[in-house]
Amino acid sequence: MAVLCYTLWAVRLHNDMASHIKLPVDILAIVGPTAVGKTMASICVAEVAGGEIVSADSMAIYRGMDVGTAKPNAEERARAIFHLVDVADPRQAFSVGEFQRLAHRAIEKISKSNPPAIVVGGSGLYVRAAIDGLDDSLPVGDESFRAEMGALAETNGREAVHSLLASVDPVSAARIHPSNLKRVVRALEIARLTGVPASEHFGQSTRQSGWPGRKRMFGLRINRDDLYARIDVRVDLMMERGLVEETRLLLDSGVDAGCTALQGLGYKQIAGYLRGELTLEEAVYLIKRDTRRFARRQFTWFNADDRIEWIDADGLDAQEVASEIVSRVVE
């Protein structure tokens, strides 16, 4: 392994004179919880093996939301080509179906011109939409049912709606936070209209309508305490880099506080602070707490996919993680 690692990074350092290592895959997915190091690892893979990165992040799609989504910065974007970042207006609805259409278009383009497509993200549903495709046979929305669930949430709280989901589809309930009312109601709606839990529909679709190309999926994980420490550091950096100002600008530009974009971690809590509902200290505490909870749900989602090959990234830097991924693919 040591010799291979040296060879890989020798290629990287001299890539003006040497071609990339060719990987025998069309799609290479890198997944895992927030703050585990997916983006930097994907950049290093692209530098060694070529390819372009397809972001599968449900918040990075929105323009003007840079600090709170930890988007790749200008230096990182100069090192690799990114797709599906800054493609949506946060004032408008953006569905996972629309994301799927754009992702498949990007993957097809990359597979023809500069493979592999490196699908990177922690949003499990978006990763699945990108590399597998979701079930086109799912029923259309039932507006009366949605209104009924909305009224229940107004009266008894979103937790009451989430409890209904937990009773019929515990797998989806474990993956979806109670605050994400839109997704909770949609999962309930699918179960009600089809008689089959949404989690089963999505599980079936991954095998039935998968992208036809060759795929490998890798998951990154580290010690939980270390992950939580990284999350805390990331939130502190977001605050230093202007999360409050960014959220204020979004609100001032007409982005409604109740829209999907501003329900994202960080933005929701800071919007509460700007409305005077929370102190800044309370908002920061909630961001850290809720992000740790989100990381646990991410593990729950990805652990259910037996295609994922896990890499224990404790003590490894991004280049070492990328080296491990590339070595597994070419072996």
pLDDT band, residue 210 (cuts 50/70/90): low
Mean pLDDT, range 18-37, rounded to an integer: 90
pLDDT band, residue 198 (cuts 50/70/90): confident
- Residue 207 clears pLDDT 80, i.e. is over it: no
- Residue 139 clears pLDDT 70, i.e. is over it: no
CA nearest to 236, candidates 285, 163, 292: 285
Mean pLDDT, range 279-292, rounded to an integer: 97
4-8, 155-159, 167-171: which has the minimum mean pLDDT?
4-8
pLDDT at 218: 98
pLDDT at 272: 96
For residue 117, the Cα-to-chain-centroid distance in whole angstroms is 16
Q: How far apart are CA 8 and CA 1, in angstroms?
A: 10
pLDDT at 7: 45
Task: Indicate the pTM of the whole model.
Answer: 0.79
pLDDT at 208: 45
- Residue 32 clears pLDDT 50, i.e. is over it: yes
- Residue 195 clears pLDDT 70, i.e. is over it: no
* Boundaries of every domain in the chain: 2-134+209-330, 143-200
- Residue 18 clears pLDDT 50, i.e. is over it: no
Mean pLDDT, range 233-239, rounded to an integer: 98
- Residue 194 clears pLDDT 90, i.e. is over it: no
- Residue 137 clears pLDDT 60, i.e. is over it: no
Mean pLDDT, range 295-318, rounded to an integer: 94
Does the 143-200 domain belong in CATH 1.10.20.140? yes
- Residue 3 clears pLDDT 50, i.e. is over it: no
Architecture of domain 2-134+209-330: 3-Layer(aba) Sandwich (3.40)
Mean pLDDT, range 294-307, rounded to an integer: 92
Q: What is the 3-state secondary structure (H, E, C) of the chain?
A: CHHHHHHHHHHHHCCCCCCCCCCCCCEEEEECCCCCCHHHHHHHHHHHHCCEEEECCCCCCECCCCCCCCCCCHHHHHHCCEECCCCECCCCCCCHHHHHHHHHHHHHHHHHHCCCEEEEECCHHHHHHHHCCCCCCCCCCCHHHHHHHHHHHHHHCHHHHHHHHHHHCHHHHHHCCCCCHHHHHHHHHHHHHHCCCHHHHHHHHHHHCCCCCCEEEEEEECCHHHHHHHHHHHHHHHHHCCHHHHHHHHHHCCCCCCCCHHHCCCHHHHHHHHCCCCCHHHHHHHHHHHHHHHHHHHHHHHHCCCCEEEEECCCCCHHHHHHHHHHHHHC
The percent of residues above 90 in pLDDT, for the chain, comes to 62
pLDDT at 181: 87
pLDDT at 206: 46
pLDDT, tens digit, 9 for 90 and up, residues 61-99:
999 999 999 999 999 999 999 999 999 999 988 888 899
pLDDT at 19: 64
The chain-wide mean pLDDT, for the chain, equals: 87
